[in-house]
Amino acid sequence: DVKVTQSSRYLVKRTGEKVFLECVQDMDHENMFWYRQDPGLGLRLIYFSYDVKMKEKGDIPEGYSVSREKKERFSLILESASTNQTSMYLCASSNRVRQPQHFGDGTRLSIL
């Protein structure tokens, strides 16, 4: 079974902090994705990566950056956390030539 592991289930940070969310997949997938999920807004794509050191902006990249130094690991960085970034963050991965995406269990991030 595909396993996508997100480093923290719950995280509380303060405004202005730099926040790192980590995601690791064990299926040698080329593609990795970061989404945020908010009530009434659904899942929105923040960033994705098709290969090591490659990144592409999604629909809502403002205030975020990403890093993919190794194939299995994709990090989401909140450069200076703000309260409107309080959300559920979901990481996913997929094979290059076919769907579907497989998700981790999410990190529920609260910015105070």
CB 112 within 8 A of CB 54: no
Three-state DSSP class for residue 84:
helix
> What residue type is assigned to position 44 of the chain?
R
- Confirm or reject binding of residue 28 to another protein (CB under 8 A): no
The four Cα atoms 93, 95, 100, 101 give a dihedral, to 10 degrees, of 0
**Could you say which of 36, 76, 106, 109 contacts another protein (CB under 8 A)?**
106
- Confirm or reject binding of residue 73 to another protein (CB under 8 A): no
**Could you say which of 87, 101, 109, 111 contacts another protein (CB under 8 A)?**
101
Closest distance to another protein from the beta carbon of 61 (Å): 12
Closest distance to another protein from the beta carbon of 33 (Å): 7
CB 5 within 8 A of CB 104: yes
In the complex, which residues of this chain contact another protein (CB under 8 A)?
4, 30-31, 33, 40-43, 45, 48, 50, 58, 90, 94-106, 108
